[in-house]
Structure 1
Amino acid sequence: MNTSENSTTTLTTLDDLITALSEGDRATYNHLIHSVKLSSENFEKYISWSDECYTRNCIVDNEKFELILICWCKGHSTPIHDHDGEECWVKVITGEFKESIYKENESGGLDIVKTAISKPNQVTYMKDFMGFHSLENLSDKKSISLHLYAKPIRKCRIFDAESNTFVLKELEYDTIAS
């Protein structure tokens, strides 16, 4: 870790981030994820790809937080989902992503309330009171994003467009760091 004269800490490696998250508490997570500057080289041992769907690659999963690297091919997107009450930060490492935020309307359907584009080193934040969201890789190449959850998320509700209802989905990893 590099410490500057005004005693703010600049995190420069994935290990620095993991240590700071482990030593800190939920109140520090927003600052930490915004301040860390990481390149794709930091994640080489966690990257896995699938042509069919994005992959969820666990870096850290403990009682305090969950850190996941998501690897996206061109055109991959998440279903519209919530976060089972937990906070979620998404930091773009490579690529460009569109986040769409939805609110449930009186008839149980969803209305889009906001879209935003995120580029490398930008961070988005989501918590269930804000609505539901989906992410889409807009890049015409493979892209990666780092997802921090304040407490691990084991399940979420995803919107099933066919039935126009939410269904519960148990979450799994494609790879787990050793």
Structure 2
Amino acid sequence: MVSFVQLVVQIREIFEHKMVDVDEVMKLMGSYKSDINEWRRFAIFDMNKYTRNLVDIGNGKYNLMILCWGPGMASSVHDHTDAHCFVKILDGELTETKYDWPKKKHTPLETIENKTYGLNGVSYMNDELGLHRMENQSHSNGAVSLHLYIPPYSTCNAFDERTGKKTKCTVTFYSKYGEKIDYHGSKEGK
């Protein structure tokens, strides 16, 4: 079993020289057993939206972040702009709904799979597998997840589930390295 710090270090080591080996990363993510005392300082919630809290930039090769989900919060249906996406549940449960890419304009997205992940569950997604949405379906409990994106990205596409309409979105961090970011007056949002 590895600690959170060891997990971060081992992820960095994996990507010093290698391309993405999905099985190796899944195994490593699965080897960490969540301990709130190890990651609490990165888990910053907002009562109005889920938050993306940067933990490590991985020498520019990836972003490792902790996402905090209040009760009932969900992401939009989105792609990953050709990045690999690994998710590990650190606290609570998240439901991942996978969708096929839109085939026709103005038609609802087709659901491929719907799966709920509990504590220490690990999921993988990339654009070849389709689109997805992550959701905390609890109406009383928050959830926390660890996300690894390789390579890092600053934009993605969100999709309207009812029409398949695509909208380009800029993604931002709520905090970096355990410190909330003050975007007041900033145009950047990164």
Q: TM-score range by the shorter chain?
A: 0.7 to 0.9
* Structure 1 contact 95–138 (Cα < 8 Å) conserved: no
Pairing 1:57–2:53 present? yes
Query: Which is richer in strand?
Result: 1
Describe the superposition over 1:25-70 as per-residue Cα deviations: whole angstroms up to 9, x where unpaired. 3323222112111222221111211111101000011322211100
Pairing 1:36–2:35 present? no
Q: Which amino acid aligns with 1:69?
A: I
For 1:76, the equivalent position in structure 2 comes to: 73
For 1:142, the equivalent position in structure 2 comes to: 142
Match runs of 1:86-105 below 5 Å: 86-105=83-102
Distance 1:71 1:23 in 2: 26
SS of residue in 2 equivalent to 1:32? helix
More off after superposition, 38-47 vs 13-22: 38-47
Give the CA deviation at 1:164.
4.1
Distance 1:132 1:77 in 2: 14
Q: Which amino acid aligns with 1:129?
A: E
Distance 2:102 2:159 in 1: 13
Q: Which amino acid aligns with 2:65?
A: I
Pairing 1:15–2:5 present? yes
For 2:126, the equivalent position in structure 1 comes to: 127
Give the CA deviation at 1:154.
1.4
Given the superposition, is the C-alpha separation of residues 115 and 161 from structure 1 closer, same or farther in structure 2, using an over 3 Å criterion? closer
Give the unaligned 5+ runs of structure 1.
1-9
Distance 1:82 1:105 in 2: 12
Distance 1:161 1:40 in 2: 34
Aligned length: 168
Distance 1:130 1:33 in 2: 20
SS of residue in 1 equivalent to 2:7? helix
Describe the superposition over 1:61-99 as per-residue Cα deviations: whole angstroms up to 9, x where unpaired. 132221110011100000000111011111011111111
* Structure 2 contact 81–153 (Cα < 8 Å) conserved: yes
Q: Which amino acid aligns with 2:125?
A: M
Describe the superposition over 1:5-40 as per-residue Cα deviations: whole angstroms up to 9, x where unpaired. xxxxx31x2110111011113323222112111222
SS of residue in 1 equivalent to 2:11? helix
User: What TM-score do you get using the length of structure 1 for normalisation?
Assistant: 0.88
For 1:4, the equivalent position in structure 2 comes to: none
Q: Percent identity?
A: 26
User: What TM-score do you get using the length of structure 2 for normalisation?
Assistant: 0.83
